[in-house]
Amino acid sequence: MYKLIIKGGKTLNGTVNIAGSKNAALPILFASILADEPIKLSNTPHLSDISTTLRLLMDMGGEFILESDGSLSVDSSKLTKLTAEYDLVKTMRASILSLGPILAKYGEAKISLPGGCSIGTRPVNLHLKALKDLGAKIEVKNGYIYATAKKLIGNDIHFEQVTVTATENILMAATLAQGTTTIHNAAQEPEIIDLANCLIKMGAKISGAGTSVITIKGVSNLSGASHTVCPDRIEAGTYLIAAAITGGKVILKNAQHRSMRAIISKLTEAGAEIEFDKTSITLDMKGKRPKAVNIKTSTYPNFPTDMQAQFCALNSIADGQATVTESIFENRFMHIPELTRMGAQFSLEGNTAISKGVKLLTGANLMATDLRASASLVLAGLAAQGTTTIERVYHLDRGYETIEEKLKLLGADIQRIQD
């Protein structure tokens, strides 16, 4: 088990290269199941969730090659096993994204139910209902989803709640369905646009991705394609806060400001000076203490739940009182007790965290509980006086590529050690 040791109080300054988006790369890797040829992917992030997905695809008969130019060639065109086993699925909920593609291409799939998750119950009922609306027969027994459909048939799908991965699952399944599928109340995240763009390169007929209504005309087969994964807006937002929380300046390369409007607007409200062009974003805090900002998480294009914990860290040392309301997941405040152990002042009222900013946090021994909560603890550790130790770093490795190396380049005193 690895730990991170951070000696806080350094002002961060410098340039960071933002990796490809985890939440775009994962569905695109699963989309390779739909193709009859390999998919060539560039800008795939080096993350444990990506390795888990590749292991899952290999377990089902897929193959991959890391090309000399750094791209990943994935051939999942001829699966020999149509089962996603519990041992792999339990470590990554996004494995449910194998269901739509396997069922659409092979007419049957057996996928382990992902199980509980520390940030909420996260059921998959909306995935299953929408696949049933496309004509699938679905049974859940012994912890597995058994799905069959000789041929999926296009239909009107109405999601009663906006859901990112269910939108992606149905989008992928509908590409090989017979006839037209229209997804209503679809999620509008930039990662869905990236997935749709890759599917279109593979020969899919899709319009409306990035809006609340997506239309897919089914085709009989999909080919290979080359695709570059879009930048990770959550990683980018986390490094912007690393500079803001330490009063520093950061230049992000390979970042896309267009998909980060809600995050940039809140950081500007907190007192940061932000400039951007097509592929880079610069944040300069000019040594100032941030102002506390009120936040309410919602679906895209509103403020993302995946940045909520990081803004709690920022608010904990900011000037003033603020409320952070979590409206997507029911149990996403596990970072609050840990931040409190560093001297932060929070009270929790239902799904709202109320902070009263303190001038200084102090280093402490902390436990990472989930991916984004862990990021908030790293940010707090960077700002705190003294040494912070963060255990269970594997949560961070799911979503942040070489986080300590990137932070060191900005001047942080951070080390990874093995127990």
Long-range pairs for 365-369: beta carbons < 8 A, 24 or more residues apart: 365/389, 365/391, 366/338, 366/341, 366/342, 366/390, 366/391, 367/338, 367/391, 367/392, 368/392, 368/393, 368/395, 368/396, 369/118, 369/334, 369/335, 369/338, 369/395
Work out how close the CB of 98 gets to ligand UD1 at its nearest, in angstroms, rounded to a whole number.
Answer: 12
Of the pair 194, 284, the CB lying nearest ligand UD1 is at 194
Binding flag, residue 309, ligand UD1 (CB under 6 A): no
**CB within 8 Å of 350: residues ≥ 6 apart:** none
Structure tokens at 257: 């400001």
Stretch that binds ligand UD1, among 35-43, 115-123, 361-369, 400-408 (CB under 6 A): 115-123
Of the pair 62, 114, the CB lying nearest ligand UD1 is at 114
Q: Which of 98, 238, 256, 305 binds ligand UD1 (CB under 6 A)?
A: 305
Q: How many helices (H) and strands (E) does the chain have?
A: 14, 24
Q: Which of 117, 198, 230, 312 is catalytic?
A: 117
Binding flag, residue 120, ligand UD1 (CB under 6 A): yes
The Cβ-side half-sphere exposure at 327, using a 13 Å CA radius, reads 13
Binding flag, residue 126, ligand UD1 (CB under 6 A): yes
Of the pair 263, 272, the CB lying nearest ligand UD1 is at 263
Please give the DSSP secondary-structure letter assigned to residue 45.
Answer: -
| Residue 197: strand, helix, or coil | helix
Amino acid at 116: G
Binding flag, residue 166, ligand UD1 (CB under 6 A): yes
Stretch that binds ligand UD1, among 30-38, 119-127, 242-250, 276-284 (CB under 6 A): 119-127
Work out how close the CB of 237 gets to ligand UD1 at its nearest, in angstroms, rounded to a whole number.
Answer: 13
8 Å CB contact between 316 and 361: yes
The question of whether 312 is a catalytic residue gets the answer no
Binding flag, residue 26, ligand UD1 (CB under 6 A): yes
Work out how close the CB of 93 gets to ligand UD1 at its nearest, in angstroms, rounded to a whole number.
Answer: 6
Binding flag, residue 23, ligand UD1 (CB under 6 A): yes
Q: Which of residues 343-402 bind ligand UD1 (CB under 6 A)?
A: none
Binding flag, residue 123, ligand UD1 (CB under 6 A): yes
Q: Using CB under 6 A as the criterion, which residues of the chain lie in contact with ligand UD1 when the complex forms?
A: 23, 26, 93-94, 120, 122-127, 161, 163-166, 304-306, 328-329
